[in-house]
Amino acid sequence: MSKIFNDIKPKKHYEILDGLRGVAAILVVAFHIFETFALGNRFKQIINHGYLAVDFFFLLSGFVVAYAYDDRWGRMTQWEFYKRRLIRLQPMVVMGMIIGAAFYYFQASDNLFPKIAETPVWKLLLVMLIGFTLIPVPKGMDIRGWSEMHPLDGPAWSLFFEYIANILYALVFRKFSNKVLGIFVLVFAGMLINYTVFGPKGDVIGGWSLDLEQMNIGFTRLLYPFFAGILLSRLGKLIQIKGAFWMCSVLIAIVLAIPRIGDENSLWMNGLYESFCIILVFPLIVSIGAGGEIKNPFSLKICKALGDISYPLYITHYPLIYWYSTWVVDNKISLEDGYLVGIGVLVSSIIIAFICLKLYDEPVRNWLQNKFQKHKVSVKE
């Protein structure tokens, strides 16, 4: 929740987009649960394209940021914009790191995370404190063994790139005309196609390590969807369809659950699919979601609930996934024997997210708004 100036009327709120964000967040958790049984084989993952939810989040974020701020720069400084984004996102970044630290030693595994047993408490706390700032840690400070820039809470890598996108928007891209922005979006689409179709892996998996290869993946995943979302918001080409929320939810589920296309000898086929989804299907879904209306009170409640927990769920679930992964690998658990515990992980993740939202995130953001923002009118971002 972020405040705007008293002389600006609150804007229409896109409830369906909130709901879709929640649907995608739940699918991300399910993807990570099933991913454990693939043992790192990207060709055998269940809910195989669940990682594309991150690219969908980037597009949603660009759309909403442009909608919320494009017409307010005459009354708002860059620092005011940064404050709003920090207040919206940073409290749960901190909580994600705290939960990651609390679960850390329970994730010890000679097979999967051998570094945990040899990591002293002081080093764990240091990595946690650095994580509070979202500054990536170098591989030399990796305390898990997966070369993550945030080894206590892996998904925080996408928030690091989210902040970069917000800075680029505030510094440069907000000043571009639609024509100039469109040229950049086309260039970014070309970069995405070049990497996925002609690159070495045939997918966009990656972005979470502090090295040149992974940073290249991270920027490739970020630039097109985020700035395409901004362009989509500016153009205002929304599609009005009955049952938009349910239709879009089904579309997202299908896109993320499609099995891997092609094999090791035809990587381009899967790359082409992912480029098609990110470049065309995701903007279509957002256009339908933003253009739709919810008249059913039940559907409205579902969208609100899903939207409320989406970000807390995304940023806090992975410490449980680390634990679940060690349990599966160390005990050689099959999918048939482990799916009930996996369901428990999903339910527990949702409960933790809800508790964090109500007892921490909302109160902290309200306090920060009252402390650092002077104006009282609010709009959800």
pLDDT by residue (tens digit) across 72-92? 998 899 999 999 999 999 999
pLDDT digits (tens, 9 = 90+) for 37-63: 998 899 999 999 999 999 999 999 999
Banded model confidence at residue 8, pLDDT cuts 50, 70, 90:
very low
Q: Residue 379: its pLDDT value, please?
A: 39
The conformation of residue 144, written as its DSSP 8-state character, comes to: S
Q: Which two tokens stand for residue 319?
A: 């410490």
Q: Residue 375: its pLDDT value, please?
A: 55
Buried/exposed code over 166-194 (b: 16+ C-beta within 10 A; e: otherwise): beebbeebbebeeeebbebbeebbeebbe
Q: How far is CA 101 from CA 21, 39, 121, 365, in A?
A: 26, 24, 10, 22
Q: Is the pLDDT of residue 136 over 50?
A: yes
Scanning the structure block, which residue is given the tokens 């589920």?
A: 253
Query: Domains of the chain: which residue ranges?
Result: 2-379
Sign of CA dihedral 271, 274, 279, 284: positive
- Average pLDDT on 20-35 reads 97
Q: Which two tokens stand for residue 323?
A: 């634990």
Banded model confidence at residue 374, pLDDT cuts 50, 70, 90:
low
Banded model confidence at residue 173, pLDDT cuts 50, 70, 90:
very high
Q: Residue 96: its pLDDT value, please?
A: 98
Q: Is the pLDDT of residue 9 over 80?
A: no
Q: Closest by alpha carbon to 267, among 189, 193, 191, 199?
A: 199
